[in-house]
Amino acid sequence: MPFIDTRSPGEFEKGAFPSALSLPLMNNEERALVGTCYKEKGQAAAIDLGHGLVYGAVKQSRIDRWIKQLHRHPETVLYCFRGGLRTKISLEWLAEAGLVVPYVEGGYKAMRHFLIETIEAAGQHPWLVVAGKTGSGKTELLKAAVETASDIAVVDLEHLANHRGSAFGSEVTPQPSQINFENALAIELLRLGQGSASQVLIEDEGRLIGRAFVPMPVQTVIRNSDMVELVRPFEERAQAIAEDYVLRRQQELLELFDASTDVLALVEDRLLEQLGSIRRRLGGERHALLTQRLSEAFVRYRSNSDVTEHFSWIEPLLLDYYDPMYEHQASRSNRNLLFRGEQPEILEWLQERPHQPHRQDASGQRNELPPLQ
């Protein structure tokens, strides 16, 4: 549903909804002045000041932007922060232009509260966690599972966080704000409630995906739900990492910059920066060796475009960093492992398994069901 968000641009940037368009009643400066006036002199004085700041051509330009959106999308709904004064004024101005527009009672605050409650109830869905070592293709499995069976749904946290979930997982575009990440996640959970999925797949994630904090109810789901483990031959994992870290990023940057930009240098610089972020865990000597190998791999890659040149630093990164970290975390988990296999085997198992998923309440407590046969 399209929304007109009449809050100030600063409020919108902190958090909004995916389908909302920022068309403010007041800009940041005007809102700050009116807010100060309200605190010092009361509502009547603040309203008078607001009308004094937003009048004439400025007022008409803002109304015209609302009207343009409403003509383009007549089903648009309007809201401000609490559904109070700013909503009232906006609706009055639109009524003067001959338009009656629906609005959100309680405004953004009420919708935000509703979405927080939706996240808190995450445990009610039939979750199945997909675990696996780095490069095993967990995200690809999620996509394939949805295409394979109509009764399977997924929640892709990395997509919502715009981050691949590791020290090397940052994307070309920035991550959403924490509030926007949570809002998008809650909307995905609402979609689950409207469907009839017999199992919902979610990737095994930690507390943070980049700088996006996974809400505690979802962390509880990941810690307590049954799981499948995706396995993949080591060389295929190295190939997948090389394609992701080098080829994909190279292609994305080629689309952003003109032909005069050395995008490979940008990719290399970013990888060196990310490698530096885990220097302490690698140790100085290992970090220095991987740094040297990474730079040498880019020299060779420039001449032959063979992505396997990067195996020289990716393979020891997997062996010495990612795999031990995964094995350590797996050893501390008490989740029930239902199946282990490569992607085709897991997809076949998902289609054939008896659908008797356990459910959790908001506290993460399991409601036990008969074991799978």
Q: Per residue in 34-68, is it b (16+ CB within 10 Å) or e — as a string?
A: beebbeeeeeeebbebbeebbeeeeeeebbeebbe
Long-range contact set of residues 353-357: C-beta below 8 Å, sequence gap at least 24: 355/126, 355/151, 355/198, 355/199, 357/126, 357/127, 357/128, 357/198, 357/199, 357/226
Catalytic residues: 80
DSSP 103: B
Closest to 316 (Cα-Cα) out of 295, 286, 296: 286
- Determine the Cα–Cα distance for residues 277 and 310; give it in Å rounded to an integer: 19
Task: Give the strands of the sheet with 20-22, arranged side by side.
Answer: 20-22, 3-5, 77-79
* Sign of the four-CA dihedral 359, 185, 143, 211: negative
Q: How far is CA 56 from the centre of its chain?
A: 41
